[in-house]
Homo-oligomer: A and B are copies of this chain.
Amino acid sequence: MTLTLVGLGLGAVEDITLRGLKAVQAADAVYLEIYTSALIDSNLQELEAFFGKRIVEADRICVEEHNEAILEEAREKNVVILVAGDPLSATTHCDICLRAIKNKVEVEVIHNASIINSVGRTGLQLYRFGEVVSIPLFEENWAPTSFYDKIVRNMQANMHTLCLLDIKVKERSIENLMAKRMVFEPPRYMTVNVAIEQIRQVDEKRREIAMSARAVGVARLGSKTAKIVAGTLEQLYKVDFGAPLHSLVICAPELHDIEEEYFRHYNYETCKSQCSESENI
Task: Give A residues with C-beta under 8 Å from B.
Answer: 7, 9-10, 12-19, 21-22, 86, 88-89, 91, 94-95, 97-98, 101, 106-109, 111-114, 116-118, 120-121, 123, 125-134, 153, 157, 159, 222, 258, 261-262, 265, 280-281
Contacts and interface: CB of A to CB of B under 8 A. Distances in A.
6 shortest A-B CB distances, which residue pairs? A88-B120, A111-B113, A14-B18, A14-B19, A116-B117, A111-B118
A112 B109 contact: no
A257 to B, nearest CB: 10
A89 B120 contact: yes
Residue of A111, A131, A222, A258 with most partner-chain B CB within 10 A: A111
Contacts of A97: 123, 281
A22 B18 CA distance: 12
9 contacts: A9-B17, A18-B21, A88-B117, A88-B126, A89-B120, A94-B125, A95-B258, A97-B123, A109-B121
A142 B139 CA distance: 54
A114 B117 contact: yes
Contacts of A133: 127
Given A9-B112, A18-B18, A128-B131, 16 more contacts: A14-B19, A16-B18, A18-B21, A88-B121, A89-B126, A95-B258, A107-B280, A111-B117, A111-B118, A114-B117, A116-B117, A127-B131, A127-B132, A127-B134, A131-B159, A153-B157
Q: Which residue among A13, A107, A109, A113 has the maximum number of chain B CB atoms within 10 Å of its CB?
A: A113
A9 B125 contact: no
B120 A117 contact: no
Contacts of A94: 120, 123, 125, 258, 262
A281 B107 contact: yes
A113 to B, nearest CB: 4
B18 A111 contact: no
Contacts of A157: 131, 153
B89 A117 contact: yes
